[in-house]
């Protein structure tokens, strides 16, 4: 389906609720497919990416964006525990669709006794809570103001086109006063990991999303380099039966030269156990500015009814690591996973967050959040009346 470039639907319920500011889906139009970097057959010069950097998850942040919309309706315990774990020092931008969700979020946190002085609400109509997958990707370049990379998320769901989600990076950029640049790649943020040192990890799902649109693997690599500044791209096999195909379900960077890769019991899931072993071996061969990557293995229970109980899908937030916790996973295995983070990241506070209701939705903690890096100034958003508490 041809993507709509200009939309006129109202983004913000607060127009009639909290004093009348109104955001509309007009403004910066999207570039036509393929226009951002010419055409698939026209590869830009190699030096287009000089000085570009995509920060890693573990780097400092100025704020955290969270898809509170569906969370406050269906995943209330997870929402409460996440806000509590983040603490009051880091601003949280909670995305809500309507007045009911806004009121519900405030009531949940108040009833739980959570200090929510750092929580600011943005009223915006979205299709889903998976802001990691469709949200803005913040990129820096030497001697330039940071900017946002926008990508094609419009047809990620075979059953419906998520055009509201797809437009969110442009809307956020307009509100924050940040330039938005476009890549024609079709991708999801959950399938993009950076070690902050020029290395990109995805799965082969990224290739499948784009090869049918006329991009070879080599051309996809060029687009990744020019959009995000990556020097190396490693694509790993997707896990068998894992619905998202995302790399953040089984790999986590803790430092530029330190990675956690999931491991499974080959006795219960030999195929995925072998795929994870292959991924760990491949990642351990990659070089960084601090030498070869060191890989540690973190347990992952064998999936149940298509649900993958990942301990890799975590949220880093200024000295804290929010790690999924599950009621129906053996306590010994879960403790091993949580303790591994504490061992490898002793200066960080590791906080388990219940994800029982999330796991059946094929997404976890990282999936519903995206961080604003510390070098990106969005302070104007908190003073221009477009966010409310």
State the pLDDT at residue 103. Answer: 98
Q: Which domains does the chain have, with CATH numbers?
A: 52-382 (3.75.10.10)
pTM (two decimals): 0.89
And the tokens for 118?
């750092």
Residue 269's pLDDT is what?
97
pLDDT given for residue 160 in this prediction: 64
For 228-263, the DSSP string reads H--SEEEEEPPPTT-SS--GGGTEEEEETTEEEEEE
Residues 6+ apart with CB under 8 A from 271: 240
pLDDT of 157: 59
Q: How far apart are CA 211 and CA 204, in angstroms?
A: 11
pLDDT for position 143: 78
Classify residue 243 by its DSSP letter: S
Per-residue pLDDT of the chain (389 residues; tens, 9 = 90+): 333 333 333 334 444 444 432 343 333 333 322 222 223 333 333 445 668 899 999 999 999 999 999 999 999 999 999 999 999 999 999 999 999 999 999 999 999 999 999 999 999 999 999 999 999 999 998 878 999 999 999 766 555 678 899 999 999 999 999 999 999 999 999 999 999 999 999 999 999 999 988 999 999 999 999 999 999 999 999 999 999 999 999 999 999 999 999 999 999 999 999 999 999 999 999 999 999 999 999 999 999 999 999 999 999 999 999 999 999 999 999 999 999 999 999 999 999 999 999 999 999 999 999 999 999 999 989 888 889 99
Contact 203, 243 (CB under 8 A): no
Instruction: Say if residue 294 is exposed, middle or buried (CB neighbours under 10 Å; 0-12, 13-18, 19+).
Output: middle
Within the chain, how many helices (H) and strands (E) appear?
A: 10, 19
Distance of CA 240 to the CA centre of its chain: 22
Six token digits for residue 97? 């669709």
User: Of 2, 6, 4, which Cα lies nearest the Cα of 26?
Assistant: 6
Name the phi and psi angles at 279, rounded to 5. -65, -45
In angstroms, rounded to a whole number, what is the distance separating the alpha carbons of residues 257 and 70? 35
* pLDDT for position 51: 82
Token code pair at residue 375: 């070098």
């Amino acid at each position: 389906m041809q993507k709509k470039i200009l939309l006129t639907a109202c983004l913000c319920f607060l127009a009639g609720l909290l004093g009348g500011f109104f955001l509309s889906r007009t403004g910066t139009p999207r570039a036509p497919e393929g226009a951002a970097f010419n055409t698939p057959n026209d590869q830009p010069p190699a030096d287009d990416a000089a000085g570009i950097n995509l920060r890693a998850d573990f780097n400092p942040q100025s704020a955290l964006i969270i898809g509170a919309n569906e969370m406050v309706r269906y995943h209330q315990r997870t929402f409460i525990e996440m806000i509590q774990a983040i603490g009051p020092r880091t601003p949280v931008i909670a995305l809500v669709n309507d007045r009911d969700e806004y009121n519900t979020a405030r009531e949940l946190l108040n009833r739980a006794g959570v200090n929510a002085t750092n929580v600011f609400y943005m009223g915006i109509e979205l299709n889903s809570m998976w802001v990691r997958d469709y949200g803005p990707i913040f990129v820096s370049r030497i001697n330039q103001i940071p900017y946002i990379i926008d990508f094609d998320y419009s047809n990620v769901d075979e059953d419906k086109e998520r055009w509201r989600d797809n437009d969110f990076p442009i809307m956020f950029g307009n509100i924050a006063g940040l330039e938005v640049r476009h890549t024609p790649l079709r991708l999801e943020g959950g399938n993009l990991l950076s070690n902050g040192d020029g290395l990109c990890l995805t799965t082969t799902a990224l290739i499948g999303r784009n090869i049918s649109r006329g991009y070879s693997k080599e051309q996809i690599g060029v687009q990744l380099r020019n959009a995000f500044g990556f020097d190396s791209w490693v694509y790993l096999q997707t896990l068998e039966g894992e619905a998202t195909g995302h790399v953040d379900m089984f790999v986590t960077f803790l430092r530029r030269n330190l990675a956690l890769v999931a491991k499974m019991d080959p006795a219960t899931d030999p195929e995925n156990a072998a795929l994870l072993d292959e991924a760990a071996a491949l990642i351990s061969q990659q070089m960084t500015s601090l030498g070869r990557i060191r890989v540690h293995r973190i347990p992952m229970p064998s999936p149940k009814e298509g649900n993958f109980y990942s301990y890799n899908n975590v949220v880093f937030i200024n000295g804290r690591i929010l790690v999924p916790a599950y009621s129906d996973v053996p306590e010994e295995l879960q403790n091993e996973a949580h303790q591994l983070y504490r061992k490898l990241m002793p200066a960080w506070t590791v906080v388990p967050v219940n994800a029982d209701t999330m796991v059946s939705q094929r997404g976890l903690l990282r999936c519903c959040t995206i961080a604003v890096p510390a070098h990106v100034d969005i302070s104007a958003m908190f003073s221009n009346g477009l966010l409310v508490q």
